[in-house]
C-alpha cells in the first residue's frame, strides 16, 4: 500500500475538481488551482491552490512526509456557501465551475481572479434539474461536461428521480429533462459529443443519442451478477470503452463495439462501494477509482509496451479511516497528481513523477 | 489525606448546562404575567443529536378558554438549541484519534491474548502526538475564552495520558525498568519549572559574577533547578557564581565543589547492571552527605547566607525529605525529587507508597481536577482515576478505559462500578459525536468497536434513525449495518427506503427494497397500484419498472405483471399462439389477483374470436374453469356476476366447437 499525503480540513469533502490552467492550454502555471465541495454541517465550495510539482526542485524526501512537519498540501484561497450538499463538480473552464447539489439544482459559479492576487467565488445562476413526482427535490447525483471544443458545450446531470437533464452551460434556462429509468441513476458521462451513457442502481448501463434522449439506444447488463452501479466514466479517446464502479468493490471495464454482445471485464480492486471511477488523464491504460473502504486504486488494465503489466496499486493514509468520496487526476501536469476528499475531513494527495519519455 | 470511601465516586453528576434563549420569550422580569396568560414552554428532544426544539404552548387549548388570548410574535417562534455539541475545532483531533482507536482494536484482534506492548506504546504515542498537535493549533488560533479552556483541557489530557503510559505501558516491558527517569521526563515536559524566562531574566540582569551572586532570585532558582534534576544547569550556574567577590572564600570553594559533584551525578545506562549502578550512586550520595556535614559545621561557626543556600541545594540533592518538601511547590515536584534523589531505581510498585507519603503533606482541598486525577493514578486507585478523567473530558475517559482494558487492568474497576466502564464511556463518547452531523460514521465505529451486547443494541437504535438524505448516504448506512452485522436494522432501513421511494413515485425502486426484506404485502400493494394505473390509463407503461426489479424475486404479483406485459408484447407483435399460452399460464398458475381475473378473461376474448385457433379444447376448458372459479367467489369482493361473463362464455363455446372441428 502506498501512502497518501493527508491534510485535515475539518470538512466532509464530497466533490473535487482541478481547474484548467488560466493561460489556455499552456503548462506554465506555477500554481495549480482546484475546487472542493463539502457537505453535512458546512456546505461550501472552496478554491485551493497548490504548487505545480513540475516546477519544483526534486525533493527526495517528498514521500511519506509527516503531515505536521511539512507545509500544507494546499492553501485555501476563497470559499462560498453552497445551497445543499455538493454531490459533484465539473470545471468546464478556468473561471467557471458547475455543481450538482442535493436539492437537485445545477449551479454555475464564477471564479474571479484579480491582478492583485485576490480570488473569489460567486454564484452566477442555478436551475432546478431534478424533482420527484410529488414535488420533493431529488438529489442530482452526477454531472458531466460534453467533450467538445465548441463554446456552447453542454452539461448533463442525472438524479435520483431517474431523469437526465442537460443544458448549454451558457444558457441554463434552456434545460431539458427526460425520464429514462425507474431506479436511481448514479452516474452520467459523454462517450462522444452526441452520446450520453448512464449507470443505474439496477445494474444497467444505458446509452442515449443526445438528439433523441427519450429513447434508449442500448442497454447493457451483466446477467450473471446482480451488480448495482455507483459511477461511470468514458475512455477519453476510445468511445466504445466505459468503466463502471459497483457497490461491492469491483471496477468493470466494458467494450460496447458490438451492442448486442458487449464484453466486460471485472477487476475486484476494492472491498466496498466504488464511489467514483475515471481513466487516468495522461495514461488511459490506467483506471483510477476511489471507494468507501478508504482507499484509492490505480488499475493497469492493459499491458503496454514498456514492461508495465496488468496489476493494481492501492493508495491509503493511516489517519484516513473513512470513505474516500471523490478524486480527480490533474490533466495538465507531467507529474501525475491525484487529489481526493474523504469523509474523515481530509484532503488527500499523491504525486508520482512522470516516467521519462523514450527518445527515438 | 484520609482514604475516601466508595460513595465518593459512585454517583457522578452530569455537568449541568444552561442556555439562555435569545431573543427572549417574554420581557425580562414579566414571567409570572406571561405564565398567567395561559403560556408555558414545550419541548422535543431530537432522537439523534443533543438538540432540543422549544416553543411556546398553551397550558389549556385555546378553544377552552373563556376569553381569547392575543397571539404575539414571540409565541410563534421555535428555538432549536444544541446542548453539549462537538465544536468544529476538534474535528481533526477526533478523526486522527479515531484512526488510532480503530488501529488498536484491530491490532488487539490480530494478536489475541499476547498484549503487544510495543504496539500499544506506539499507538499511545500517536494519541499523545494528536493532543500536542491540537495544542499547537490552538496556540495559533485567536485568543478567546473557548480557546483558553480547550487549551487547558488538552494539556491536562496530555499530562494524564503521558503518566498513564509511563506507569502502565512503558514500564510494563517485563524487565525491571526503573520508573524514575520516565517520571522526571514526564514532570519536566508537562509541568516545566523553573521557567526558562526566569533564568534568562536573572542572567540578563546580572552581567558579572558579583551581581549574579547578589541577585536575590538566584539561589531559589538554583534550588528549583536542583529539585527538578537539571544538574548540568545547576553546575553551570554555580560555576558562574563561584568567582564572585561577594562570596566568602569558603562559599566559593564549596560552590565549585558542588558544581563538580553535580556533574558527576550517576546516570543509569541500559547495559549497566543495577548492582553496579547502585554502587556508584551510593558513593555519590555519601559524598554529598559528607559535604553537607562539613558545610553544616562551618555554618555553626559563622553566618553565611550564600553558604546556607548552598547547603540547601546539597540537602535537596542528597535526598533530605524535609528540605525537599520545603523547596517543592507542588506534590509532583516533591515526589519527583524524592524519587530521583533517594530512590533512583524505584519501580512502579513503589509509587503508591511514596506518593501517599508525599500527598499527606499537602491540603487535598487545594488540588485542581488535574491534581486529583494524577494523584489517583499514582496511587493506583483506578476507579477514582476513571471518574476524574471523565470530568476532565469525555474523550479521555473513553480512551483511557479502552487502553486499560487492553492492558488488562480494568478488572479492579469492574467490582466498583455498577455498569461496565469501558462500554459506558465509549457509548457516551459516541453519543457526543452524534451531535455533530459529520461525525455520525465515527460515532458508529465507537459503538461497534465496543463489542458488547448493549452497545450493539444502542447502535441498532441509532442507525435506523439516521436521516437518509441521499442515495449515497443510504448506501453508507447499509454498509455500516453489514459491517457490524445489524441485520434487523438493515431490514428496517430497507423498509424505510422502500416507503420513501413509494411516496416519491419511484415504484420500481420501492419494489426492489421490499423484495429485499421479503415484505410480500407491500410488494403486492405496489403491484396493485401499477395495475390500477394501467387500467386507468390504458397504456402499459410499467414494463421498464418491472424489468429493473431483480428477475429472481419470485414474488407472485411481480411475475404476474411481467407475464402480462410479455402477453401484451406478443399480442402486439402478432404472435397470438404464444400470447395465448402466456395468458393461460397466468390464469392456471393463479398468480393474478382476484380482481384482475375478469380483465384477463376479457383479454382472452379477441384470441377466442380470432381467425386462427389459439386455444385448443383443453385450453378452452381451462379458461372456462377459471371463469367458473371466479364466479363462485362472487358474493365476496372481486367476484363476478354470471351475466357479465356472457360474452366470454359465448366466445368460449364457439371456440370449443371450432377446436373439436379442427382437431
3-state secondary structure B517-569: CCCHHHHHHHHHHHHHHHHHHCCCCCHHHHHHCCHHHCCHHHHHHHHHHHHHH
- The residue among B625, B582, B589 whose CA lies nearest residue B604 is B582
> Are the Cβ atoms of B472 and A87 closer than 8 angstroms?
yes
Mean pLDDT of chain A: 86
Tell the residue number behind the cell numbers 540578563, with chain if given.
B204
> Are the Cβ atoms of B476 and A40 closer than 8 angstroms?
no
Which cell is B160 given?
A: 494524564
Mean pLDDT of chain B: 84
- The residue among A272, A155, A42 whose CA lies nearest residue B91 is A42
pLDDT of residue A233 exceeding 70, the answer is yes
What integer is the mean pLDDT of B134-162?
A: 91
> Are the Cβ atoms of B504 and A136 closer than 8 angstroms?
yes
How far is A217 from chain B, CA to nearest CA, in Å?
14
Task: Find the residue in B nearest to A346 (Cα).
Answer: B92
* pLDDT 10s digits, B12-41: 556 666 777 777 778 878 888 888 888 888
> Are the Cβ atoms of B438 and A41 closer than 8 angstroms?
yes
In SS3 terms, A68-104 reads as CCCCCCCEEEEEEECCCCEEEEEEEECCEEEEEECCC
A346 interaction partners in chain B (CB closer than 8 Å): 95
Q: Could you give the CA distance from residue B131 to residue B138 in angstroms, rounded to a whole number?
A: 11
For chain A positions 249-278, those within 8 Å of chain B (CB to CB) are 272-273, 275
> Are the Cβ atoms of B470 and A139 closer than 8 angstroms?
yes
The whole-angstrom distance between residue A100's C-alpha and the CA centroid of its chain comes to 12
Q: Do B468 and B476 meet the contact criterion of CB atoms below 8 Å apart?
A: no
Confidence of residue B389 (pLDDT cuts 50, 70, 90): very high
pLDDT of residue B566: 86
Confidence of residue B506 (pLDDT cuts 50, 70, 90): confident
Least confident range from B113-127, B278-292, B396-410: namely: B113-127
pLDDT of residue A106: 93
* pLDDT 10s digits, A298-333: 998 887 666 667 888 899 888 999 999 999 999 888
How far is B93 from chain A, CA to nearest CA, in Å?
9
* pLDDT 10s digits, A35-88: 999 998 889 999 999 888 877 655 544 444 444 445 788 899 899 999 999 999
Q: Could you give the CA distance from residue B111 to residue B115 in angstroms, rounded to a whole number?
A: 7
Confidence of residue A295 (pLDDT cuts 50, 70, 90): very high
Q: Which residues contact A246 (CB under 8 A, 6 or more apart)?
A: A203, A227, A228, A229, A230, A252, A273, A274
Q: Could you give the CA distance from residue A308 to residue A300 in angstroms, rounded to a whole number?
A: 8
Q: Could you give the CA distance from residue A235 to residue B586 in angstroms, rounded to a whole number?
A: 46
> Are the Cβ atoms of A273 and B475 closer than 8 angstroms?
yes
Task: Find the residue in B nearest to A134 (Cα).
Answer: B504
What integer is the mean pLDDT of B558-577?
A: 84
Is it true that the peptide bond before B109 is cis, omega within 30 degrees of 0?
no
Q: Which residues contact B151 (CB under 8 A, 6 or more apart)?
A: B135, B138, B139
Q: Which of B99, B441, B509 sits opposite A182 (nearest CB)?
A: B509
Task: Find the residue in A nearest to B127 (Cα).
Answer: A319
A275 interaction partners in chain B (CB closer than 8 Å): 472
Least confident range from A322-331, B85-94, B587-596: namely: B587-596
Which cell is B622 given?
A: 381451462
Cα B589 to Cα A181, B438, B518, B581, B622: the distances in Å are: 30, 52, 21, 12, 11
> B1 by DSSP, 3-state: which?
coil
* pLDDT 10s digits, B201-220: 888 887 787 888 888 888 88
CB under 8 A, 24+ apart: contacts of B218-225:
B219/B306, B219/B309, B219/B312, B221/B194, B222/B309, B222/B313, B223/B309, B223/B312, B223/B313, B223/B316, B223/B327, B224/B193, B224/B194, B224/B327, B225/B194
Is A206 touching B (CB cutoff 8 A)? no
Strands A229-234 and A250-255: unpaired
Q: Could you give the CA distance from residue B618 to residue B626 in angstroms, rounded to a whole number?
A: 12
> Are the Cβ atoms of A161 and B504 closer than 8 angstroms?
yes
pLDDT of residue B5: 42
Q: Could you give the CA distance from residue B617 to residue B65 in angstroms, rounded to a whole number?
A: 79
CB atoms within 10 A of CB B71: 10
> Are the Cβ atoms of B471 and A323 closer than 8 angstroms?
no
> Are the Cβ atoms of B504 and A133 closer than 8 angstroms?
yes
> A175 by DSSP, 3-state: which?
coil
Residue B158 burial (C-beta neighbours within 10 Å; 0-12, 13-18, 19+): buried
Q: Which of A200, A204, A323 sits opposite B476 (nearest CB)?
A: A323
Which cell is B451 given?
A: 463489542
Least confident range from A69-73, B148-152, B266-270: namely: A69-73
How far is A46 from chain B, CA to nearest CA, in Å?
17
Chain B interface with A: residues with Cβ < 8 Å: 88-89, 91-92, 95-96, 98-99, 102-103, 129, 133, 136, 436-438, 441-442, 445, 469-472, 475-476, 479, 503-509, 512, 544-545, 548-550, 552
pLDDT of residue B61 exceeding 90, the answer is no
Cα B202 to Cα A109, B198, B213, B221, B256: the distances in Å are: 61, 6, 10, 9, 20
pLDDT of residue B46: 85
In SS3 terms, A133-148 reads as CCCCECCEEEEEECCC
Amino acid at each position: 500500500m502506498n501512502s497518501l499525503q493527508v491534510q485535515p480540513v475539518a470538512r466532509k469533502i464530497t466533490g473535487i475538481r482541478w481547474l484548467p490552467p488560466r493561460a489556455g492550454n499552456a503548462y506554465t502555471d506555477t500554481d495549480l488551482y482546484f475546487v472542493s465541495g463539502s457537505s453535512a454541517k458546512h456546505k461550501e465550495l472552496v478554491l485551493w491552490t497548490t504548487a505545480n510539482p513540475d516546477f519544483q526542485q526534486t525533493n527526495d524526501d517528498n514521500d511519506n512526509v509527516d503531515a505536521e512537519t511539512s507545509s500544507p498540501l494546499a492553501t485555501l484561497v476563497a470559499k462560498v456557501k453552497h445551497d445543499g450538499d455538493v454531490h459533484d463538480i465539473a470545471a468546464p473552464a478556468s473561471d467557471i465551475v458547475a455543481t450538482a447539489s442535493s436539492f437537485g439544482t445545477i449551479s454555475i459559479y464564477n471564479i474571479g481572479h484579480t491582478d492583485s492576487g485576490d480570488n473569489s467565488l460567486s454564484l452566477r445562476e442555478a436551475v432546478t434539474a431534478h424533482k420527484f413526482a410529488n414535488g420533493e427535490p431529488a438529489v442530482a447525483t452526477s454531472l458531466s461536461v460534453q467533450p467538445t471544443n465548441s463554446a456552447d458545450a453542454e452539461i448533463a446531470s442525472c438524479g435520483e428521480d431517474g431523469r437526465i437533464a442537460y443544458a448549454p452551460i451558457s444558457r441554463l434556462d434552456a434545460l431539458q429533462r427526460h425520464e429514462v429509468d425507474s431506479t436511481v441513476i448514479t452516474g452520467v458521462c459523454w462517450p462522444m459529443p452526441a452520446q450520453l451513457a448512464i449507470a443505474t442502481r439496477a445494474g444497467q448501463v444505458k446509452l442515449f443519442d443526445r438528439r433523441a434522449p427519450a429513447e434508449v439506444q442500448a442497454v447493457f447488463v451483466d446477467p450473471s451478477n446482480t451488480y448495482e452501479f455507483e459511477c461511470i466514466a468514458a475512455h477519453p479517446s476510445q468511445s466504445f470503452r466505459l468503466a463502471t464502479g459497483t457497490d461491492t468493490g469491483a471496477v468493470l471495464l466494458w467494450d460496447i463495439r458490438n451492442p448486442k454482445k458487449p464484453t466486460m471485464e471485472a477487476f475486484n480492486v476494492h472491498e466496498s462501494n466504488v464511489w467514483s471511477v475515471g481513466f487516468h488523464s495522461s495514461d488511459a491504460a490506467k483506471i483510477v477509482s476511489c471507494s468507501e473502504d478508504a482507499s484509492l486504486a490505480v488499475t493497469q488494465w492493459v499491458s503496454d509496451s514498456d514492461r508495465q503489466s496488468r496489476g493494481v496499486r492501492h493508495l491509503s493514509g493511516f489517519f484516513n479511516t473513512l470513505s474516500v468520496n471523490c478524486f480527480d487526476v490533474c490533466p495538465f501536469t507531467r507529474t501525475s497528481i491525484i487529489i481526493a476528499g474523504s469523509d474523515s475531513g481530509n484532503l488527500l494527495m499523491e504525486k508520482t513523477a512522470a516516467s521519462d519519455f523514450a527518445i527515438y | 489525606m484520609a482514604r475516601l470511601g466508595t460513595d465518593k465516586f459512585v454517583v457522578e453528576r452530569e455537568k449541568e448546562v444552561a442556555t439562555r434563549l435569545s431573543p427572549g420569550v417574554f420581557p425580562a422580569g414579566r414571567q409570572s404575567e406571561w405564565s398567567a396568560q395561559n403560556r408555558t414552554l414545550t419541548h422535543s428532544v431530537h432522537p439523534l443529536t443533543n438538540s432540543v426544539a422549544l416553543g411556546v404552548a398553551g397550558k389549556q387549548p385555546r378553544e377552552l378558554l373563556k376569553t381569547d388570548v392575543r397571539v404575539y410574535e414571540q409565541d410563534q417562534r421555535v428555538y432549536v438549541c444544541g446542548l453539549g455539541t462537538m465544536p468544529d475545532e476538534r474535528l481533526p483531533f477526533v478523526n486522527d484519534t479515531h484512526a488510532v482507536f480503530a488501529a488498536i482494536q484491530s491490532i488487539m484482534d490480530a494478536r489475541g491474548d499476547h498484549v503487544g506492548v510495543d504496539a500499544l506504546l506506539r499507538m499511545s504515542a500517536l494519541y499523545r502526538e494528536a493532543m500536542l498537535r491540537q495544542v499547537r493549533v490552538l496556540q495559533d488560533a485567536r485568543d478567546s475564552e473557548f480557546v483558553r479552556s480547550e487549551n487547558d483541557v488538552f494539556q491536562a489530557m496530555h499530562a494524564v495520558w503521558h503518566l498513564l503510559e509511563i506507569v502502565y505501558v512503558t514500564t510494563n516491558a517485563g524487565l525491571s525498568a526503573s520508573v524514575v527517569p520516565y517520571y522526571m521526563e514526564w514532570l519536566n515536559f508537562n509541568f516545566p519549572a523553573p521557567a526558562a524566562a526566569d533564568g534568562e531574566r536573572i542572567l540578563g540582569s546580572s552581567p558579572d559574577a558579583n551581581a549574579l551572586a547578589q541577585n536575590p532570585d538566584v539561589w531559589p532558582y538554583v534550588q528549583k533547578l536542583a529539585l527538578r534534576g537539571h544538574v548540568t544547569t545547576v553546575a553551570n550556574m554555580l560555576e558562574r557564581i563561584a568567582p564572585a567577590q561577594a562570596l566568602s572564600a569558603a562559599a566559593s570553594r564549596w560552590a565549585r565543589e558542588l558544581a563538580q559533584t553535580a556533574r558527576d551525578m550517576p546516570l543509569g545506562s541500559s547495559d549497566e547492571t543495577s548492582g553496579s549502578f547502585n554502587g556508584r550512586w551510593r558513593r555519590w550520595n555519601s559524598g554529598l552527605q559528607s559535604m553537607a556535614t562539613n558545610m553544616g559545621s562551618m555554618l555553626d561557626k559563622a553566618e553565611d547566607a550564600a553558604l546556607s543556600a548552598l547547603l540547601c541545594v546539597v540537602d535537596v540533592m542528597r535526598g533530605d525529605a524535609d528540605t525537599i518538601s520545603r523547596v517543592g511547590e507542588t506534590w509532583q515536584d516533591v515526589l519527583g525529587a524524592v524519587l530521583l534523589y533517594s530512590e533512583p531505581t524505584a519501580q512502579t510498585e513503589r509509587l503508591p507508597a511514596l506518593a501517599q507519603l508525599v500527598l499527606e503533606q499537602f491540603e487535598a482541598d487545594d488540588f485542581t481536577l488535574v491534581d486529583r486525577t494524577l494523584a489517583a493514578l499514582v496511587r493506583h486507585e483506578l476507579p477514582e482515576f476513571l471518574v476524574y478523567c471523565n470530568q476532565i473530558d469525555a474523550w479521555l475517559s473513553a480512551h483511557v478505559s479502552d487502553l486499560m482494558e487492553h492492558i488488562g487492568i480494568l478488572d479492579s474497576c469492574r467490582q466498583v462500578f455498577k455498569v461496565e466502564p469501558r462500554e459506558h464511556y465509549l457509548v457516551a463518547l459516541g453519543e457526543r459525536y452524534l451531535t455533530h452531523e459529520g461525525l455520525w460514521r465515527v460515532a458508529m465505529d465507537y459503538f461497534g468497536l465496543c463489542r458488547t451486547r448493549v452497545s450493539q443494541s444502542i447502535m441498532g437504535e441509532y442507525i435506523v434513525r439516521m436521516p437518509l438524505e441521499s442515495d449515497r448516504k443510504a448506501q453508507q448506512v447499509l454498509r455500516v449495518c453489514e459491517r457490524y452485522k445489524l441485520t434487523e436494522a438493515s431490514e428496517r432501513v430497507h423498509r424505510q427506503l422502500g416507503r420513501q421511494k413509494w411516496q416519491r413515485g419511484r415504484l420500481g425502486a420501492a419494489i426492489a427494497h421490499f423484495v429485499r426484506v421479503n415484505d410480500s404485502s407491500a410488494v403486492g400493494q405496489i403491484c396493485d397500484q401499477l395495475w390500477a394505473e394501467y387500467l386507468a390509463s390504458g397504456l402499459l407503461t410499467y414494463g421498464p419498472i418491472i424489468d429493473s426489479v431483480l428477475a429472481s424475486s419470485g414474488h407472485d404479483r411481480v411475475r404476474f405483471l411481467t407475464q402480462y406485459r410479455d402477453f401484451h408484447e406478443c399480442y402486439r407483435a402478432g404472435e397470438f399462439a404464444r400470447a395465448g399460452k402466456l395468458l393461460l399460464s397466468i390464469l392456471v398458475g393463479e398468480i393474478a389477483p382476484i380482481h384482475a381475473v375478469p380483465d384477463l378473461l376479457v383479454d382472452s376474448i379477441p384470441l377466442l374470436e380470432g381467425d386462427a385457433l389459439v386455444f385448443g379444447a383443453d385450453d378452452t376448458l381451462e379458461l372456462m374453469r377459471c371463469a367458473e372459479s371466479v364466479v363462485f367467489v362472487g358474493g365476496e369482493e372481486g367476484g363476478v356476476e354470471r351475466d357479465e361473463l356472457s360474452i366470454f362464455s359465448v366466445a368460449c363455446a364457439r371456440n370449443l366447437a371450432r377446436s373439436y372441428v379442427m382437431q
